[in-house]
Amino acid sequence: MRFATAAFLTLALFSTGAPAQRSRYTSPSARSTVKIAGQELSVDYYAPSMHGRKVMGGLVPYGEVWCTGANIATGFTTPADLQIGSLRLPKGTYSIWTIPNEKEWTLIINKESGQFHLNYNSSLDFGRTKMNVKTLPDPVETFRVDLRNDGGNKGTLALVWERTEASIPFTVLQ
């Protein structure tokens, strides 16, 4: 019995390769919701923090697809059809990805949801559209997704971190 236990432990230690490296930072789960035209839209995400690191153009490289958060891909649920940028998005649950750049961001709506943040599959993209970008006067330590009610059936999706806000207006279609 002792041999079987020792063999199991040896196999367990060496079958996984090097011990798992745990980041010294954790990204807690977060949720943003808004009610527009009687419909409640929501975004579920993990919120990383700066911790003194350069984020845009550093931790989040320019010109590459970013999971727009951490851990699990950011989920976006709409109970109604939307016009978001150039996309007419049917009601449903999606994941949000972005391609950040200094002056322009691209929002990617992907038909898959719940995937690990490194498992982006572009063949499942619903579509892409441009976002507005502005520089914030004060740094924002922890990444956040804001869903804003702009009145009537209009809203804004904003991604805010470090000194950057990337946003895109949307309309709840009725």
pLDDT single digits (tens) 84-143: 999 999 999 999 999 999 999 999 999 999 998 889 999 999 999 999 999 999 999 999
Mean pLDDT, rounded, of the chain: 89
Predicted confidence at residue 68, as pLDDT, reads 95
Predicted confidence at residue 24, as pLDDT, reads 64
Predicted confidence at residue 25, as pLDDT, reads 63
18: confidence class by pLDDT, cuts 50, 70, 90: very low
Distance CA 43, CA 163 (A): 21
Please state the pTM of the whole predicted model: 0.84
Higher-scoring residue by pLDDT: 117, 159 = 159
Mean pLDDT within 1-16: 40
